Amino acid sequence: MSPNEPLRVIEPDGGVNGYDSRLTEDQLIHCYRTMVSVRVFDEICLKLQRSGRIAFSIPNKGVEATQIGAASVMKTSDWLFPSYRDFGMALYHGVTPLRMMQNMFGNAEDQAKGRQMPVHFSFEEPIRFYSISSPIGTHIPQSVGAAYAAKLRGEDTVCLTSFGDGGTSSMGFHSGLNFAGVWKAPVVFLCQNNGWAISCPVEEQTASEGFAIKARGYGMPGVLIDGNDLLAVRKATEEAVERARAGEGPTLIEALTFRMGGHSTSDDPTRYVPKDMVDYWAKRDPIERFEKYLEGVGLWSPEMGKALYDEVTEEIKEAARQAEKISSPALDTIFSDVYAEMPPHIRSQGQAAFDLARTRGDAEAGDGDFPL
Amino acid sequence: MSPNEPLRVIEPDGGVNGYDSRLTEDQLIHCYRTMVSVRVFDEICLKLQRSGRIAFSIPNKGVEATQIGAASVMKTSDWLFPSYRDFGMALYHGVTPLRMMQNMFGNAEDQAKGRQMPVHFSFEEPIRFYSISSPIGTHIPQSVGAAYAAKLRGEDTVCLTSFGDGGTSSMGFHSGLNFAGVWKAPVVFLCQNNGWAISCPVEEQTASEGFAIKARGYGMPGVLIDGNDLLAVRKATEEAVERARAGEGPTLIEALTFRMGGHSTSDDPTRYVPKDMVDYWAKRDPIERFEKYLEGVGLWSPEMGKALYDEVTEEIKEAARQAEKISSPALDTIFSDVYAEMPPHIRSQGQAAFDLARTRGDAEAGDGDFPL
Amino acid sequence: MTTRTLLQAINDGLHTVMKEDPSVLVFGEDVGVKGGVFLVTEGLQKEFGKERCFDTPLSEDGIVGAAIGMAMNGLKPVAEIQFQDFIFPAFDQIVSEAAKLRYRSGGQYTAPMVIRTPYGGGIQGGLYHSQSGEAYFCHTPGLKVVIPSTPHDAKGLLIASIEDPDPVLFLEPKALYRAVKGEVPEGHYTVDLTTLREARPGKDVVIFCYGAMVPVAMKAAELASENGIDCRVVDLRTLLPLDEEGVLEHAKAVGRVVVLHEAPRFCGYGGEISALIAENCIEYMEAPITRVAGFDTPFPNTLEHHYLPDHRRVLDAVERTYHF
Amino acid sequence: MTTRTLLQAINDGLHTVMKEDPSVLVFGEDVGVKGGVFLVTEGLQKEFGKERCFDTPLSEDGIVGAAIGMAMNGLKPVAEIQFQDFIFPAFDQIVSEAAKLRYRSGGQYTAPMVIRTPYGGGIQGGLYHSQSGEAYFCHTPGLKVVIPSTPHDAKGLLIASIEDPDPVLFLEPKALYRAVKGEVPEGHYTVDLTTLREARPGKDVVIFCYGAMVPVAMKAAELASENGIDCRVVDLRTLLPLDEEGVLEHAKAVGRVVVLHEAPRFCGYGGEISALIAENCIEYMEAPITRVAGFDTPFPNTLEHHYLPDHRRVLDAVERTYHF
Ligand SMILES: Cc1ncc(C[n+]2csc(CCOP(=O)(O)OP(=O)(O)O)c2C)c(N)n1
Ligand SMILES: Cc1ncc(C[n+]2csc(CCOP(=O)(O)OP(=O)(O)O)c2C)c(N)n1
Ligand SMILES: [Mg+2]
Ligand SMILES: [Mg+2]
């Protein structure tokens, strides 16, 4: 769809073309390890969902380089405004698989207190990973407000705001990018063009030649990159973050990538994704690509990859096992956190719910299936 | 703000550069007469408002060439989706000053039955002049729907959709242009960049280099024109309409112009518009510009101009006199047209209102002033 | 007659009108090839082509805005909003535009159209895939709001909505999509948009409800009858404009009222029902007018079954009302 | 103490907090140089600079969305929406985001902010510059909704709203901006957001109202007293969360209730008041609970004085209630 050549750093043979990531070996391995963790987390969640142990998950095989490449540029004093598919951003910055699994199970230890669906993570440390909201695009102007607040207060915080190709049609995209341009807010907009908004291909989303080009309408630079190339993602994000920290305002990055699974565990992509598209992208797996690069610089071998995969798998399986043991949130979590202080009418509704459970027994869980 | 040179046809000396409008003498005079009518209508409304005979008006001195140039390209089988400042579009197509004055007085003959503020015109003949809505931008996706409907039904109707520089920030702009691009809908988007959204200058509206450039983000051509040059407006609109009728989709036209009065009769522009900006544009009056051109082709003289002005003034004054004599809408206009058929609860509210007026006397009119 | 689920009945209704009337269009996010995330529009694109059933960009504002334009230019748009929770970007187009167009233009322009959207809990959808927003819309003169609870009504009300000269918000109880089955006539028929339906006769307590709460009320009524309380269940089905006279008749006839919905109680639709009764026939009331509703909190996820009114809560209210 | 109009009191309130707290920002369309179309923010940009009082692009969605982001990052945004009628593009940000953020994040993220906006009729503003949309918002757990009716309360409630840890929608009765005057204390003070106010004592009929309808109720009460009916007037002032106990106490004490607002009746805020009473103390009622409200139509222009509830309509309801 895009006539422009996307920025690429890692060559098919694993060599790099003229970009020095300045990453230490440890950092490179951390990037790699996180990519593998995301993939494994994904695999395990799919299995947990298939076996009915969690209700829902969001596949993210194939998009690991985009999320981790971008997140890896951010400092822990920055803010992430992620999308529901950005598991890797949290993992990269040290959110443990266990904390993430608590959310997948919606249990009493879940940071969101079991109020949100799985994958609607919310963390405030080690990095501010902003509470995921289902409505598409609403977080975009919010991130601009947060960034502008940092700027007004003289902090050098940058916000990384991630959304999909479908998200560019939302009103939040328009208001967010427009405000960011006018305010020269320190935000990096990361449009993850994975080709589809559920079953709708990008041609049904917009007639423009790609998404990066939309930046000009808001007075900011737009950059098209290969989203399956972790170093290309880093390079573009670094430049954008530098601009932002230097007070030069926002940037829109369009990362070309592909969601190799369904939209969610409720979706069957074979109904609409052409087979040759799947094949095309299967040959461009971002993890294999990075392995080639690491191999070239002497940091990877099939054995090392296998060992790491096994280690990560055990860690995440253990996280799932632990999370599954935790009980459901207590009844009062329905009633708290509506306001800072609980108003009388909510208090008495909570009391009534307790009393009812005592006199007439507990409510029965339903068996509704999530379709989306 | 815009680095590009806008399209111009009428030279400062009144000559034209290489564009044949193919307008007959009658048509040229009709354009001119309509421009003068709009200006006079405006003057008279301001006086009526100052003297308390109407509540409100929207000044439009200075923007006549844009609205009339664009409207003059449309056929009566087309649709106009105007903004509140587009008086001239209606007048050009034969809506009488009297019908417009009925609306300014909100009387029993007003097409909108006195339900809307002045300048919120609605006509369905001689051309579909879509009911003006106060919320900015909402008519943009609506016009795309109407255009797409025409296309689906195989009609060659085109929609002309007009909005301001401020309107480009609305959600309707984003969804409307995006849908139009994807659907290749036969719409011409006319962005009247008059420099201001009430007191907010364009730099506060967007960081982009002008508005025409926003077209690319929606996969359509964008054209920047001198909005005070009636022939330039016609030329760009003609090309856009041709593309639309040929099934090639929408176009965004940005017309550079200037609102020489306040935003409305409640606004004092001297509080925020720099004096030199006013002076700059005063020298670029669109009517004088067109007079120069007409003079060059032998169709205008100061005497002819004076006579036409006097004639038009008398006509519009007479319209105001007549409209002022018409009574207010009847009480039942509050209750009709909510639904096609009046539901029982509205019927009984209407009945109660009648009964109350009988038993306790009429409601007293307030004296609230409109601030915007 | 065929036995169908509520979902099949809606799909059948769409098929029926699209076959009869070429001006009917169905569009929204994922309604084409995928047939909608719930498969309500399954098969329509195949049968009627991409011109009549198609996907749109991800913009509810654009979907409804464009539908208004189509409606005023001779088509009959049936727009889908994927979840009612995502309708709010289109709130302005619905409330300020579709609902007010006839009025503000003095009847010159109108927007006869249908917005279909699944609402309510029961699928573990958390805050944003579970809400019942009917009250947000029912305060809007010019709009009609319809909620079916049976397959028969779903098809008949939908066809009536598509043929209606005014804009209709058609809220589909997603919890019932596959959970209820019933006889559905073949072909074209309508259920009129001005009358409520007595779902169960009864003389001791009347339960006013709609949508997914109708089966809950029916179950509570059954349990109550075991304790000797004879409940009447009234399915309002067209919430705006409401059959107010019908409500008052049932209230007067029974004298004890429970109002039931799954949306939060405060400023919810139930308040209007209570207020109507308290205003017009309070002298018939032999007990407080009791509401059973969702709590005044956002919609939770893991504990959704505690949030949603169930037969326990309804029964409790019925007994309190009966024994007052 | 100084005598101020309601508008001046709000302006004074903004000055007061901006002077005390550098994290308070005021922004919106035309609030800077122009000082807002009603001049509520006049002088703020001059005094506090463009960094603290500034214009925004024409996007209510952007204004509220950005305010949420600022709020969660340590500032105290006071966003203006030019007219309440134009708030609907921001409906999603308010209802889905600001109101639910604390809940969905388990208390990790919050949006303490104020959205100020003028509402209501009385300025010949027609359909789109006159609406009273409070009911659209009061169905939203997590949000607070405040409407002052006196200069004293306007300033005190506004300062309390800005200092509140939750998002507050602050609706300003534009008809009263210049029409009411009253004593306003200098400097910082708050009026708490949890209690209603008895605006006039009385024992025969109680009128529940708020905002621009308070003076209408007062006038009707005066006229009623000439006929020997002693009306109590209660100004609810914080509509969400409501002082429910206060409402019930007044209702019980008086036994005859009129509920008054200018928004359309159907599914309006008044329904909640009636329903609360009918649910909790119906046995105290000696007459129907009567609502006086705007008609169930869009807001007209030329005939707006017929649309807006006035003392005639209130008096009529009071007398019917009294003589029931
Ligand atoms: C406002 C809104 N409308 C519709 C939806 C339903 N929905 C969830 S994800 C999605 C597609 C998003 O596509 P994209 O932005 O490309 O992100 P991706 O899933 O591909 O990462 C849709 C339509 C929603 N969540 N919010
Ligand atoms: C959604 C919405 N927000 C705010 C307003 C108030 N308002 C009326 S006109 C206007 C400025 C419009 O500016 P522009 O689009 O440039 O049109 P112009 O008046 O300059 O022709 C504003 C903010 C409105 N009518 N609708
Ligand atoms: Mg996508
Ligand atoms: Mg302008």
Is residue C292 in some structural domain? yes
The CA distance from D309 to the nearest CA of chain A, in Å, is 30
User: With 80 as the cut, is the pLDDT of residue B361 above it?
Assistant: yes
User: With 50 as the cut, is the pLDDT of residue A1 above it?
Assistant: no
Q: How far is CA B65 from the centre of its chain?
A: 11
How many whole angstroms separate alpha carbon B112 and alpha carbon B128? 14
Backbone angles phi, psi at B145, to 5 degrees: -60, -45
Mutation pick for ligand 2 pocket among D30, D37, D58, D129 (CB with most ligand atoms within 8 Å)? D58
Residue A241, classed as helix, strand or coil, is helix
Average pLDDT of chain B is 95
Q: Is the peptide bond before C241 cis (omega within 30 degrees of 0)?
A: yes
The CA distance from D31 to the nearest CA of chain C, in Å, is 23
Pairwise CB contact (< 8 Å): B220 & A205: no
User: With 90 as the cut, is the pLDDT of residue D41 above it?
Assistant: yes
How far from B233 is each of B229, B285, D80, CA to CA, in Å?
6, 15, 36
Residue identifier of the C-alpha nearest atom 21 of ligand 2: B164
Q: Tokens 């009428």, residue?
A: B10
D139 and D238 in a single domain? The answer is: no
User: With 50 as the cut, is the pLDDT of residue D310 above it?
Assistant: yes
CATH 3.40.50.970 assigned to A25-325: yes
Query: Averaged over B83-108, what is the pLDDT?
Result: 97
D118 and D227 in a single domain? The answer is: no
CB pairs under 8 A between C and D: 150
Q: How far is CA D150 from the centre of its chain?
A: 11
Backbone angles phi, psi at B345, to 5 degrees: -70, -35
How many whole angstroms separate alpha carbon A148 and alpha carbon A238? 19
Spacing, Cα B259 to ligand 2 middle (Å): 13
pLDDT one-digit tens code per residue, B222-279: 999 999 999 999 999 999 999 999 999 999 999 999 999 999 999 999 999 999 999 9
Q: Scan residues 50-89 of A and list those with Cβ closer than 8 Å to D.
A: 79
pLDDT one-digit tens code per residue, B48-60: 999 999 999 999 9
Is residue C191 in some structural domain? no
Spacing, Cα A303 to ligand 4 middle (Å): 65
Pairwise CB contact (< 8 Å): B117 & D124: yes
Query: Averaged over A302-327, what is the pLDDT?
Result: 98
**Radius of gyration over alpha carbons of chain A, in Å?**
21
Residue type, B303: E
C251 and C125 in a single domain? The answer is: no
The pLDDT score that the predictor gives to residue A73 is 98
Average pLDDT of chain D is 98
Give the residue from D248, D171, D263 showing the smallest Cα distance to D208.
D248
Q: Is the dihedral of CA D302, D307, D308, D312 positive or negative?
A: positive
D231 and D105 in a single domain? The answer is: no
Task: Name the closest ligand to CA C96.
Answer: 2
Spacing, Cα D30 to ligand 4 middle (Å): 13
List the end-to-end C-alpha distance of chain C, in Å, as a whole number: 44
Which has the minimum average pLDDT: A360-364, D259-263, D269-273?
A: A360-364
ipTM (interface pTM): 0.98
Q: Is the dihedral of CA B18, B22, B28, B32 positive or negative?
A: negative
B220 touches chain A (CB under 8 A): yes
Residue of D nearest to C288 (CA): D279
The pLDDT score that the predictor gives to residue A2 is 44
pLDDT one-digit tens code per residue, B325-334: 999 999 999 9
The 10 Å CB-count burial string (b at 16+, else e) for A76-85 is eebbbbbbbb
The pLDDT score that the predictor gives to residue A12 is 80
The whole model's pTM is what?
0.98
User: With 70 as the cut, is the pLDDT of residue A368 above it?
Assistant: no
Q: Tokens 């707290």, residue?
A: D21
Spacing, Cα B166 to ligand 2 middle (Å): 6
Pairwise CB contact (< 8 Å): D62 & A175: yes
Query: Averaged over D188-196, what is the pLDDT?
Result: 98
B218 touches chain A (CB under 8 A): yes
Query: Averaged over D168-182, what is the pLDDT?
Result: 97
C-beta of residue C191 within 8 angstroms of C-beta of residue C156: yes
Per-residue confidence band for B185, with pLDDT thresholds at 50, 70 and 90: very high
D295 and D223 in a single domain? The answer is: yes
The pLDDT score that the predictor gives to residue B364 is 85
Spacing, Cα C147 to ligand 3 middle (Å): 32
The pLDDT score that the predictor gives to residue A100 is 98
Give the residue from D75, D6, D73 showing the smallest Cα distance to D38.
D6
Residue identifier of the C-alpha nearest atom 25 of ligand 2: B135
pLDDT one-digit tens code per residue, C9-25: 999 999 999 999 999 99
How many whole angstroms separate alpha carbon D58 and alpha carbon D30? 9
The pLDDT score that the predictor gives to residue B372 is 61
D297 and D318 in a single domain? The answer is: yes
The pLDDT score that the predictor gives to residue B362 is 86
Residue of B nearest to C99 (CA): B338
Per-residue confidence band for B13, with pLDDT thresholds at 50, 70 and 90: confident
Give the residue from C210, C196, C256, C248 showing the smallest Cα distance to C231.
C256
Residue of A nearest to C301 (CA): A115
Chains that touch D (3 or more CB pairs under 8 A): A, B, C
Mutation pick for ligand 2 pocket among B84, B117, B136, B170 (CB with most ligand atoms within 8 Å)? B136
Give the number of other Cβ atoms within 10 Å of residue B271's Cβ: 11
How many whole angstroms separate alpha carbon C298 and alpha carbon C13? 33
The pLDDT score that the predictor gives to residue B1 is 37
Is residue C19 in some structural domain? yes
A340 touches chain B (CB under 8 A): no
Counting Cβ atoms within 10 Å, is residue D15 exposed (0-12), middle (13-18) or buried (19+)? middle
User: With 80 as the cut, is the pLDDT of residue A203 above it?
Assistant: yes
The CA distance from C265 to the nearest CA of chain D, in Å, is 8
Residue of B nearest to D302 (CA): B114
Residue finishing a domain among D159, D184, D209: D184
Is residue C86 in some structural domain? yes
D13 and D162 in a single domain? The answer is: yes
Q: Per the structure block, which two tokens stand in for A210? A: 């790609």
Give the number of other Cβ atoms within 10 Å of residue A52's Cβ: 8
pLDDT one-digit tens code per residue, B300-354: 999 999 999 999 999 999 999 999 999 999 999 999 999 999 999 999 999 999 9
D168 and D221 in a single domain? The answer is: no
D176 and D301 in a single domain? The answer is: no
Give the residue from C281, C292, C282, C278 showing the smallest Cα distance to C321.
C292
C-beta of residue B68 within 8 angstroms of C-beta of residue B35: yes
Pairwise CB contact (< 8 Å): A208 & B214: no
Pairwise CB contact (< 8 Å): B107 & D58: no
User: With 80 as the cut, is the pLDDT of residue A205 above it?
Assistant: yes
Which of C24, C29, C70, C87 is the best mutation test for B, with the most CBs of B within 10 A?
C70
C250 and C136 in a single domain? The answer is: no
pLDDT one-digit tens code per residue, B273-304: 999 999 999 999 999 999 999 999 999 999 99
Is residue C50 in some structural domain? yes
pLDDT one-digit tens code per residue, B110-137: 999 999 999 999 999 999 999 999 999 9
Pairwise CB contact (< 8 Å): A363 & C310: yes
Is residue D191 in some structural domain? no
Pairwise CB contact (< 8 Å): D62 & A141: yes
Pairwise CB contact (< 8 Å): D303 & B205: no
D299 and D207 in a single domain? The answer is: yes
Q: Which residues of A touch D106 (CB under 8 A)?
A: 110-113, 115, 122, 337
The pLDDT score that the predictor gives to residue D241 is 98
For chain B, counts of helices (H) and of strands (E): 12, 8
Give the residue from A26, A55, A29 showing the smallest Cα distance to A311.
A29
pLDDT one-digit tens code per residue, C61-71: 999 999 999 99
Q: What one-character DSSP code corresponds to residue C96?
A: I
Q: Which residues of chain C have pLDDT under 70?
A: none
How many whole angstroms separate alpha carbon B86 and alpha carbon B74? 14
Which one is catalytic: B85, B263, B284, B289?
Answer: B263
D221 and D311 in a single domain? The answer is: yes
Average pLDDT of chain A is 95
What DSSP element (H or E) covers A161? Answer: strand A159-164
User: With 60 as the cut, is the pLDDT of residue D100 above it?
Assistant: yes
Q: Give the domain range for residue C276.
A: 197-322
D139 in active site: no
Q: Which residue spans within chain D are E strands per DSSP?
A: 2-5, 24-28, 53-55, 76-80, 114-119, 144-146, 168-173, 181-184, 197-200, 205-209, 231-235, 238-240, 257-264, 290-294
Is residue A134 within 6 Å of ligand 1 at its C-beta? Answer: yes
Give the residue from C298, C295, C296 showing the smallest Cα distance to C313.
C295
Q: Is the dihedral of CA D72, D74, D75, D76 positive or negative?
A: positive
DSSP characters over B103-172: HHHT-TT-TTTT-S-TT---B-SSSEEPPP-SSTTTHHHHHHHHHHHHHHTT----EEEEEETGGGGSHH
A354 touches chain C (CB under 8 A): no
- What is the strand order of the sheet C257-264 is part of? C197-200, C231-235, C205-209, C257-264, C290-294
CA dihedral B49, B52, B54, B55 (to 10 degrees): 80
From the list A169, A207, A216, the residue facing B213 with the nearest CB is A216
C-beta of residue D156 within 8 angstroms of C-beta of residue D191: yes
Query: Averaged over D294-302, what is the pLDDT?
Result: 97
Q: Which residues of B touch C242 (CB under 8 A)?
A: 345
Residues whose CB is less than 8 angstroms from the CB of residue B275 and which lie 6 or more positions away in sequence, other chains included: none
CATH of the domain at C148: 3.40.50.970
Pairwise CB contact (< 8 Å): D166 & A115: no
Per-residue confidence band for B370, with pLDDT thresholds at 50, 70 and 90: low
Domain count, chain C: 2
Query: Averaged over A14-21, what is the pLDDT?
Result: 87
Chains that touch A (3 or more CB pairs under 8 A): B, C, D
Spacing, Cα A193 to ligand 3 middle (Å): 5
C-beta of residue A165 within 8 angstroms of C-beta of residue A201: no
The CA distance from D323 to the nearest CA of chain C, in Å, is 14
C-beta of residue A78 within 8 angstroms of C-beta of residue A303: no
How many whole angstroms separate alpha carbon A67 and alpha carbon A233? 9
Residue of A nearest to D110 (CA): A340
The pLDDT score that the predictor gives to residue B50 is 95
Query: Averaged over D49-73, what is the pLDDT?
Result: 98
pLDDT one-digit tens code per residue, A319-340: 999 999 999 999 999 999 999 9
How many whole angstroms separate alpha carbon D63 and alpha carbon A145? 9
Residue finishing a domain among D132, D155, D184: D184
Per-residue confidence band for B368, with pLDDT thresholds at 50, 70 and 90: low
User: With 80 as the cut, is the pLDDT of residue B366 above it?
Assistant: no
Which of C266, C284, C289 is the best mutation test for D, with the most CBs of D within 10 A?
C266
Mutation pick for ligand 2 pocket among D86, D91, D93, D174 (CB with most ligand atoms within 8 Å)? D86
Residues whose CB is less than 8 angstroms from the CB of residue B333 and which lie 6 or more positions away in sequence, other chains included: B108, B113, B114, B115, D300, D303
Spacing, Cα C55 to ligand 3 middle (Å): 15
Residue finishing a domain among D184, D210, D229: D184
CATH of the domain at C303: 3.40.50.920
State the greatest distance between any 2 C-alpha atoms of chain A, in Å, as a whole number: 72
